[in-house]
Amino acid sequence: SVIVPVHNSECWLDECLKSVWEQDFKGTMELSVFNDASKDGSAEIIEKWKIKLEDAGVPVIIGRNDSSQPRGVGFAKNQAVIQSSGTYLCFLDSDDVMMPQRVRLQHEAAIQHPNSIIGCQVRREPLESTERYTRWINNLTEEQLLTQVFTSHGPTVIMPTWFCSREWFFHVGKFDEGGKGIPEDLLFFYKHIQKGGEVFRVNHCLLLYRYHPQAATHSVLEGTIWNHRVRFLEDRVLSSWTSFTIWNAGKQGKKLYRSLSLANRKKVTAFCDVDEKKITKGFYTYEESEERPKPKIPICHFRDATPPFIICVKLDLTGGAFETNLNTLNLKEGMDYYHFN
């Protein structure tokens, strides 16, 4: 089942649904569309493609929310899944375009990896938008698909490329339906990992991933995502560590420190950095603390610091300087350090 949530998507929908029609998959396939209170011409475009797709042997199920207000992308995706019947689910956003081999290649991978979310590489449209993000999505190693789940980039395989079995989807338990401002894909991804799910990427570019101001992503508040990420890090990593160092004595590192639970703040033995000014200062005082005396955390050079590290330095931004420094320590990602930024 190809799962397409729709809300006011008339300018992209034609190309999106045409890409369903162009799939080279030889098995049985259906399209499940849920139209969430669109006010534009989306419904007419869906009806037009229903005729074409059904002529080509692809049944089309259309659900709709006819109220004046959309219920949100989590709700629309859940409804599209509930009304569908395929053994596998292929998620497709109404503003994106699949390559003809997408369903075939991800279906093959899903059979091999039953408890996985399967992703793929993407091409960004317009090309120059979110360059670092696109590079990150496309170049993560197999191990990093699981170790880099705490970074601010969100799921290590992005939602518009998800493909999984229906059975596993319901085992994880549907998308959050809180509506606007809820990072429903991130929350589902975290639940998936907490339930022992795997992450796998087909190393082919199978999706044209559009970037535009109307995308639902832009309605999610950074603070909301930050809080979910911190809780997930505490639950998955910090709960089993007795002490650690925060790599970055600047704004991001201090923000992480202040966001931790009291128990986890007590585990921070030091901040480390390369900035001589910060290192010379010697320590960071947590002024807002209720504790007396207020906690003072030492600041040292990264070469003098003790792993494990939670790294709050942005990747791919320092012309390779940070990555080179990290490599000199010969540490293992997922054991000696995790990236948080």
> Do 233 and 215 belong to one domain?
no
> Do 152 and 232 belong to one domain?
no
With tokens 């003072």, the residue in question is: 296
Look at residues 200, 220, 240 and tell me which one is the last residue of a structural domain.
220
> Do 234 and 103 belong to one domain?
no
> Do 216 and 229 belong to one domain?
no
Look at residues 204, 220, 236 and tell me which one is the last residue of a structural domain.
220
> Do 43 and 167 belong to one domain?
yes
**Per 3-state DSSP, what percentage of the chain is helix, strand, and coil (rounded to 5)?**
40, 20, 40
∠ CA 180-156-178, nearest 5°, is 15
Instruction: Label each residue of 246-282 as H, E or C.
Output: EECCCHHHHHHHHHCCHHHHCCEEEEEECCHHHHHHC
> Do 203 and 291 belong to one domain?
no
> Do 106 and 227 belong to one domain?
no
- Burial of 224 by CB count in 10 Å (0-12 exposed, 13-18 middle, 19+ buried)? middle
Closest CA to 120 of 205, 4, 22: 205
**pLDDT tens, per residue, the chain with 341 residues:** 999 999 999 999 999 999 999 999 999 999 999 999 999 999 999 999 999 999 999 999 999 999 999 999 999 999 999 999 999 999 999 999 999 999 999 999 999 999 999 999 999 988 878 899 999 999 999 999 999 999 988 899 999 999 999 999 999 999 999 988 889 999 999 999 999 999 999 999 999 999 877 665 556 788 899 999 999 999 999 999 999 999 999 999 999 999 999 999 999 999 999 999 999 999 999 999 999 999 999 999 999 999 999 999 999 998 999 999 999 999 999 999 999 98
With tokens 């993407």, the residue in question is: 122
> Do 142 and 247 belong to one domain?
no
> Do 303 and 216 belong to one domain?
no
Give the number of C-alpha atoms closer than 13 A to the C-alpha of residue 334, restricted to the C-beta side. Answer: 9
pTM across the whole model: 0.95
Show the domain range for 232: 223-339
Cα separation, 73 vs 92, in Å, equals 12
What is the tally of structural domains in the chain?
Answer: 2
> Do 152 and 264 belong to one domain?
no
Which amino acid is present at 274? V
Output the pLDDT for position 127.
82
Look at residues 199, 220, 241 and tell me which one is the last residue of a structural domain.
220
Number of helices and strands (H, E) in the chain? 13, 14
Taking the CA atoms of residue 5, residue 157, residue 82 and residue 110 in that order, the dihedral angle to the nearest 10 degrees is 130
Output the pLDDT for position 219.
64
Output the pLDDT for position 148.
97
Task: List Cβ neighbours of 9 (8 Å cut-off, separation of 6 or more).
Answer: 16, 38, 40, 42, 94, 95
Task: Give the SS3 label for residue 191.
Answer: helix
H helix or E strand, kind and range, residue 124: strand 116-125
Length, in residues, of the chain: 341
> Do 51 and 94 belong to one domain?
yes
> Do 173 and 231 belong to one domain?
no
Cα separation, 42 vs 64, in Å, equals 11
CATH number (domain holding residue 22) = 3.90.550.10
Strands 283-285 and 296-301, bridge-based pairing: antiparallel
